[in-house]
Amino acid sequence: MTGSTSTGGRRGTLVAAATSVVLAVVGVGTVTLGVRGSEGPPAPTGSTPSSSTATSMPAPAALAPTASANTAPRFGRFLPASRPTVLDIPSIGVHSSAFVDLDVTPDGTMSVPATADQVGFYVGGPTPGQLGPAVIAAHVDSIQGPGVFYRLGAVEVGASVRVSRADGSVLRFVVDKVALYPKDRFPTEQVYRGTFDRAEIRLVTCGGTFDKVRHYLDNVVVFGHLLGIAKP
């Protein structure tokens, strides 16, 4: 009888020990993955986080006094207002119709989508296709994992961005610039105004170093302009 008890005890010990080893391995493995197993979201090519790109900012052209206009200005093509309904960035596999409105919050900052699978459209600015830059923002990730714009930093100059609109039109934008800006030196004028002489688009997400208080220190910004209308 003691033998069977002893066997049972030994088996129990073995099972417990094995479970302990498995959990320990999983635990260590997961911690390792957490610390250095993932590479994090891609950064724009040639960018150095948290300072370098901001220095290349040209002064906003719109601020320079221009001669009084006697003739119609030469704007690029622009369209009537219509809200975005679908965003496609084929080169990084983004396809989303989960649009939500973004606006200025009482503290003056921009609201952000509630979840990482939503794409936010800044309603205080032009709609895609109107004169000026349309601003679209989405999360790079959430506690759960990658968000819609996880790979935004991997977008390359010349890449195509398609936006479908509520009026049934499909617009094709081409990427002119991809840059990483420190959040405390966010180029507000460039993002929300630009030269304001053609239909443009801005895609914004977080990037750069993730600091100890759980914030990304930079914003990845993709700049593009209207190239053509795939479907009127």
Partner 1 sequence: MRKQSTFVGAAFGAVTLLALGAGPALASGSSVNANLMPIPGSGVRGSGTAMVAVSGTTITVTMAATGLLPNQPHAAHIHFGADARHECPVIGDDTNKDGHLTTSEGAPAYGPVVVSLTKTGDTSPASTLAIDRFDTAQGGTLSYERGSIKVSPAVATAITAGKAVVVIHGVDYNKDGKYSGSVKSDLNPALPTEATDPALCGALLAAPVGGMATGDGGAAGGVSPGLLALGGAALAAAAGTGVIASRRSRIAVR
With respect to partner 1, which residue has the nearer C-beta, 10 or 95? 10
Beta carbons of 191 and 221 less than 8 angstroms apart: yes
**Torsion angle of C-alpha atoms 7, 9, 11, 12, degrees rounded to 10:** 160
Q: How many CB atoms lie within 10 A of CB 224?
A: 28
User: Which of 218, 185, 225, 189 is CA-nearest to residue 204?
Assistant: 218
- From the CB of 164, what's the least distance to partner 1, in Å? 18
- From the CB of 126, what's the least distance to partner 1, in Å? 5
Beta carbons of 172 and 229 less than 8 angstroms apart: yes
- From the CB of 211, what's the least distance to partner 1, in Å? 9
CA distances to 43, 129, 214, 218 from 228, in Å: 28, 10, 40, 31
With respect to partner 1, which residue has the nearer C-beta, 87 or 206? 206
Burial of 115 (0-12, 13-18, 19+ CB in 10 A): middle
- From the CB of 54, what's the least distance to partner 1, in Å? 11
With respect to partner 1, which residue has the nearer C-beta, 116 or 158? 116
- From the CB of 209, what's the least distance to partner 1, in Å? 8
With respect to partner 1, which residue has the nearer C-beta, 15 or 158? 15
Beta carbons of 117 and 148 less than 8 angstroms apart: yes
With respect to partner 1, which residue has the nearer C-beta, 80 or 158? 80
Q: What's the rounded Cα separation, in Å, for the pair 229 and 107?
A: 37
Q: What's the rounded Cα separation, in Å, for the pair 94 and 139?
A: 12
- From the CB of 226, what's the least distance to partner 1, in Å? 13
With respect to partner 1, which residue has the nearer C-beta, 30 or 158? 30
